[in-house]
Structure 1
Amino acid sequence: MVDQNERAIHHEAPDVEDGSARRPPVPVEPVAVGRAAERVAVAREAFLHFEMPDPSLVRAPILASWTRSRQFSVPSDHLELPYESDAEPDTPLLRAARPVIEDIADQFATEPVSVILCDDEGVVIDRRTGDSALRRHLDRIWLAPGFSYAEQYVGTNGIGTALEGRAPAQVFGHEHYVEHLEDMACAGVPIHHPVNGKLLGVLDLTCWRSEASAMMAATAATIARRIEETLLEQSGRRELTLMHDYLSACRRGRGAVFAVSDDLLMMNDRARELIDPSDQVPLLAEATDAIRSGRRRQLLVDLPSGATARVQCRPSWAEGGLSGGILQVQLVSRAPLHGRPTTPSITTALPAAVGSGALWTKCAQAVDRHFRMNEWLVLEGETGTGRTTLARATHQLHSPAGHVRVLDAAHCGPRWIAEVSDELHTGGGTLVLQHLDALSPQHALALADALEPYRESTDPERQWVVATRSRSSEPDSPELTELLGCFPRSIEVPPLRHHIEDVAELVPYLLARLTRGADLHCSPEAMRVLMRNRWPGNVDQLYQVLRKVVARRRTGTIRPEDLPPETRAITRRVLTPLEAIECDAIVDALLDTDGNKAEAARRLGMSRATIYRKIRGYGISMPDGSEV
């Protein structure tokens, strides 16, 4: 509820009936509103000039939020919001909230109020607004899907302050930290998972300041509770489905069985006896990631105790989506199969596969283990992550002079299938089949037929076959699924942004390759710029960036100004050629004007609003690491 100073601004609250709010009341006369708003505006101005405002003029939660906003270095005179373009399209929160929000939005269809749903990072994932004028204004202040209204970016506001305080928050007019939001009023209420208490997001009501009601927070709280009730109902159905699958798995065998979901963990007595408590955490972490793929998978997991577990992962499905999964676990020997010589697991970087980060090392060790056991596998991951490099490096570690052949399925034709058959018939060495997802359905079936006679062979000289494929949100075709059945193992190769610490090792290695050993080094300042990038194109993109650097400088030290403009753009995706040209032009203009956005916009012939939007969209930052 608002305090005494704010009560003067509003009429009494409307009734709330059956979880919905009636039409917001007409505000009181403008004189009362203006005086209260003026007092808050004076207090905010004093705070921004590092003067402590009169506590009687500002509510304690607002003053605390202003203080956090200043600590976050939030600019008070303009908005700089990050944009999340690849948010998950379907989450438990969104599934539970969508019918509730649709019902409320219908009731508010003719009202100047917006119903907004955000995730736990303040990113707007749904917004319903019936009033066209309000919708246009919300777009202007970027209170729209994909943008984050977390307090660290926007300062005091109903969404970010509710998240930061883990409690309902109301923000009116000049209580907002950023001056462009003074015409708005908002009330945000956190949404928690009803089973585990985890903070999932915020339900926010936003309207014009002149339309604000003291009951906004109560109405938002009612909507949030309805969403939590729906979450509880859905969780109950998912848990019943998971329990049924768990009991069925326990009845079918006497081995170790786990049931896991976001809210639940069950294990039978055999699992408690077989799996040491210190081994359970890494086993469950890796298996849970596999279950989220939505496909049945079999994993080999190295455990801290020294044992290796074979884990059958089976997703459990309920109405509305994935409810968790069942894990059936066996401990297996580390002894190599098919007569392969015993070789210790690698703990250092593979030749030509540079990196010592934890994720990269774990991936390399898993590939090495499958090589020693002569198990065919699929390396999955984003383009440019080094999947083929990893397979070749593993082969070279054990058999430097051995035969290795790489065949790209993107060039598949009748002769390509024949080449695969010839390689398999010859035997020995390693065969890498790139880009399986590029195969047509007919070629996928033809390749499966070619692999079938060899995939379960016990011949110690059987060829080690590795396939690569890109991750995709689209379901696999039946033909591709049948082909993937020839490979009993799959490993996810992490994107470079998930082991960004390896950039410090990759850069000197790639520079040595590009300069053929010439004396060219990267300065610490330039290295910080490179390590701050998200590298959506992974190692391939880093290599192309260094190629551009080497084209201009063959020896000496690379400084930040030697790096191409694209390194200042911290994007989540690879830019199109046109976007790359535009991004480079903006970076060059900003560098030429010492970061002056208005002058850069003038030189580029675009408005200041447009250049702000482009800078946010591309994630452009200055070479010294400060945001422009």
Structure 2
Amino acid sequence: MNADHSCSEKGNRLVEQNERAVHHERSDAREAADRFVPAPAAPVAVGAAAARVALARESFLHDEDPAPGLVRAPILASWTRSRQFSVPTDHLELPYESDSEADSPLMRAARPVIEDLADQFATEPVSVILCDDEGVVLERRTGDSALRAQLDRIWLAPGFSYAEQYVGTNGIGTALEGRAPAQVFGHEHYVEHLEEMACAGVPIHHPVTGKLLGVLDLTCWRSEASAMMAATAATIARRIEEVLLEQSGRRELTLLHDYLAACRRGRGAVLAVSDDLVMMNDRARELIDPADQVPLLADATEAIRTGRRRQLLVDLPSGATARVQCRPSWAENGLSGGVLQVQLVSRASLNRPGTPSITTALPAAVGSGALWTKCAQTVDRHFRLNEWPLLEGEPGSGRTTLARATHQMHSPAGHVRVLDAANCGPRWIAEVADELHTGGGTLVLQHVDSLSAENALALADALEPYRESTDPERQWVVATRSRSSEADSPELAELLSCFPRSIEVPPLRHHIEDVAELVPYLLARLTRGADLHCSPEAMRVLMRNRWPGNVDQLYQVLRKVVARRRTGTIRPEDLPPETRAITRRVLTPLEAIECDAIVDALLDTDGNKAEAARRLGMSRATIYRKIRGYGISMPDGSEV
């Protein structure tokens, strides 16, 4: 929502929708249930026509195109996806989740509707089934014992996933894949054991955000299918969405009220954020570059979750710095989000005399992704203010490269020295002291967390006389260490106090889009400019890798490739086996961060998913789905 007046209009519409939903009777769903009388007359041809559909399916399974007009277009598209998923046609292989989300917003909204309809369908051979957005069955109601037994035989029961990637063409999975109602009858099912069934699935969307939450499905015997199945399922889904609106309306309205109040108080940039909603006024849309919105919202959302008012200073990829006032918004049932007031701070006041203005590109530090660029801009700002930063991150993430590149951008001919604390010997502290005494240039102290307690204190003593110096020629000192969740020793904590600014350098998987820039750059270095480039297919493989060793690992992989091929085009088969450990899709930066949090929790709990879910504040069903969706595996290689 971009304009103030549009926010007001949405607020009015939301109020009207709430009033209608609160007073809405369940007569529509009950009338649809009364109209749904199973009948032998099926909407898809029976007898000879059904046999032709069966023959068309057999032809398709033997890589032959069915004759035009025999198979409905949505079914043929679903068959094609099912084949791409490698779904077996002669048996079912379904994943099972023992713990479903019994208290999710979808379940809270659907439970009373389904319970009400269960009485209507008590004497009918039809089952009402509710699934989440992964196709996992959450609720199943039927009054027909024979149908219930058949559903158990085909595992259409709570805890099992009927997603298309596991079951092929069916009312639940096909509705999820197509994001639209789906009807599947008899031999239209991809798996042969389902040909006796008929089903109609309708997606359920959040009425405010439009997010897909799940599917409402009606399943019965093929011979009992009725033309009213799709209409009845749609009516039930619509009723569930109305209850969702009742449940979420107050929370959204509270946030909307606080947002509009902030817009009226001033003419600046105002945004409102919650877990599934973002609003901004015209001034925010004009002021904040689209590429800056992701890092700004990520930092602000994290601040709002603390429940306290806070002010942030956020460095943005475009080179701007934003001062953000974060004000949480509270509803009756807890935190509903927050309101952000954003002001861009002039960068001119941060520049030292004679230094160039900030740029988004650093020499020898390849990458233009939002998280990497934001990190580079932050390091650059500390250089221009001559503040000593601590760069934290995983090995190979580019901490030293970032410090070198920042120095080179401002002082290409200036002195830079890198001293690795991992090699600390009798003369190491003395070398640091000599560098500090000489002054000027840049000193990078690598891996300071590897120092012994005695050497950490000695280094702190060597740095102390220079840390508060106002000499404009004071040497810029950068320290690096690995990211760690363990508490620092007192000696290391005293050393790190010399570096009051801590900057986290993101791992490569958090800015995976930069692989497309890193690969040609590294290939040019390795081949000394020879004509070797990466094919789109091989690049997709590289971009779907998790890269636990970050840029260093990517460099080693390309070095192995170059050892076998010096010119031409790199194909997927040219890549070493280690690149096969890929994710199922390219993750967004926020998804990568969430995936890392789940992996860390699983490692901390020795693979105990229930305990990991508790630490992360999510249900076991949610963590199961995310583990499966992200393709997370334990270190021994077995999928958790």
Question: Could you say if the C-alpha distance between residues 218 and 529 of structure 1 is closer, same or farther in structure 2, counting changes exceeding 3 Å?
Answer: closer
Residue 385 of structure 2 corresponds to residue 345 of structure 1 = no
Match of 2:279 in 1: 265
Q: CA deviation at 1:434?
A: 2.6
Match of 2:446 in 1: 406
**CA offsets 1:34-81 (integer angstroms, 9 cap, x no match):** 7774353245457774354556xx6xxxx1213544776945984599
Q: Is the 8 A contact 1:100 1:226 kept in 2?
A: no
Q: Distance in 2 between matches of 1:284 and 1:412?
A: 42
Answer 1 or 2: higher relative contact order, Cα 8 Å, separation at least 6.
Answer: 2
Question: Could you say if the C-alpha distance between residues 159 and 199 of structure 1 is closer, same or farther in structure 2, counting changes exceeding 3 Å?
Answer: farther
Residue 299 of structure 2 corresponds to residue 290 of structure 1 = yes
Match of 1:394 in 2: 406
Question: Could you say if the C-alpha distance between residues 422 and 281 of structure 1 is closer, same or farther in structure 2, counting changes exceeding 3 Å?
Answer: same
Q: Is the 8 A contact 1:380 1:493 kept in 2?
A: no
Q: CA deviation at 1:532?
A: 5.1
Match of 1:438 in 2: 485
Match of 2:20 in 1: none
Q: CA deviation at 1:338?
A: 7.9
Match of 1:468 in 2: 504
Matched letter for residue 289 of structure 1: A
Matched letter for residue 200 of structure 1: L
**CA offsets 1:305-336 (integer angstroms, 9 cap, x no match):** x9654223455455677633321222322125
Quick one: percent identity of the two aligned structures?
44
Match of 1:98 in 2: 107
Q: Distance in 2 between matches of 1:378 and 1:322?
A: 34
Matched letter for residue 104 of structure 2: R
Match of 2:207 in 1: 194
Q: CA deviation at 1:404?
A: 1.4
Residue 158 of structure 2 corresponds to residue 158 of structure 1 = no
Matched letter for residue 444 of structure 2: V
3-state secondary structure, aligned to 2:514: helix
Match of 1:175 among 188, 194, 212: 188
3-state secondary structure, aligned to 1:545: helix
Larger deviation, residues 381-390 vs 563-572: 381-390
Query: What are structure 1's unaligned runs of at least 5 residues?
Result: 1-14, 456-464, 471-491, 577-613, 620-628
Residue 348 of structure 2 corresponds to residue 335 of structure 1 = yes
Q: Distance in 2 between matches of 1:179 and 1:76?
A: 16
Q: CA deviation at 1:178?
A: 5.8
Q: CA RMSD in A?
A: 5.5
Q: CA deviation at 1:403?
A: 1.0
Q: Is the 8 A contact 2:204 2:216 kept in 1?
A: no
Residue 129 of structure 2 corresponds to residue 115 of structure 1 = yes
Q: CA deviation at 1:97?
A: 0.4
Q: Is the 8 A contact 2:393 2:481 kept in 1?
A: no
**CA offsets 1:534-577 (integer angstroms, 9 cap, x no match):** 33424344234345556x64966666444222324432689x9x
Mapping 1:476-487, distance limit 5 Å = none
Q: TM-score, normalised by structure 1?
A: 0.60
Match of 2:576 in 1: 564
Question: Could you say if the C-alpha distance between residues 135 and 387 of structure 1 is closer, same or farther in structure 2, counting changes exceeding 3 Å?
Answer: farther
Q: Distance in 1 between matches of 2:93 and 2:382?
A: 41
Q: Is the 8 A contact 1:163 1:201 kept in 2?
A: no
Q: Distance in 1 between matches of 2:224 and 2:32?
A: 16
**CA offsets 1:422-468 (integer angstroms, 9 cap, x no match):** 5455334233343454332x64x88667666874xxxxxxxxx4443
Residue 380 of structure 2 corresponds to residue 371 of structure 1 = no
Q: Is the 8 A contact 1:301 1:311 kept in 2?
A: no
Matched letter for residue 203 of structure 2: P
Question: Could you say if the C-alpha distance between residues 467 and 330 of structure 1 is closer, same or farther in structure 2, counting changes exceeding 3 Å?
Answer: closer
Q: CA deviation at 1:83?
A: 12
Question: Could you say if the C-alpha distance between residues 116 and 389 of structure 1 is closer, same or farther in structure 2, counting changes exceeding 3 Å?
Answer: farther
Q: CA deviation at 1:228?
A: 1.7
Q: Distance in 2 between matches of 1:431 and 1:563?
A: 36
Match of 1:461 in 2: none
Query: What are structure 2's unaligned runs of at least 5 residues?
Result: 1-26, 142-147, 417-441, 468-474, 585-594, 600-627, 634-640
Match of 2:240 in 1: 227
Question: Could you say if the C-alpha distance between residues 234 and 411 of structure 1 is closer, same or farther in structure 2, counting changes exceeding 3 Å?
Answer: farther
Q: CA deviation at 1:99?
A: 2.3
Match of 2:520 among 493, 496, 505: 505
Larger deviation, residues 230-239 vs 387-396: 387-396
Q: Distance in 1 between matches of 2:538 and 2:190?
A: 35
Q: CA deviation at 1:356?
A: 4.7
3-state secondary structure, aligned to 2:512: helix
Q: Distance in 2 between matches of 1:212 and 1:535?
A: 49
**CA offsets 1:251-293 (integer angstroms, 9 cap, x no match):** 99886543345445254xxx84xx6726464554443233343
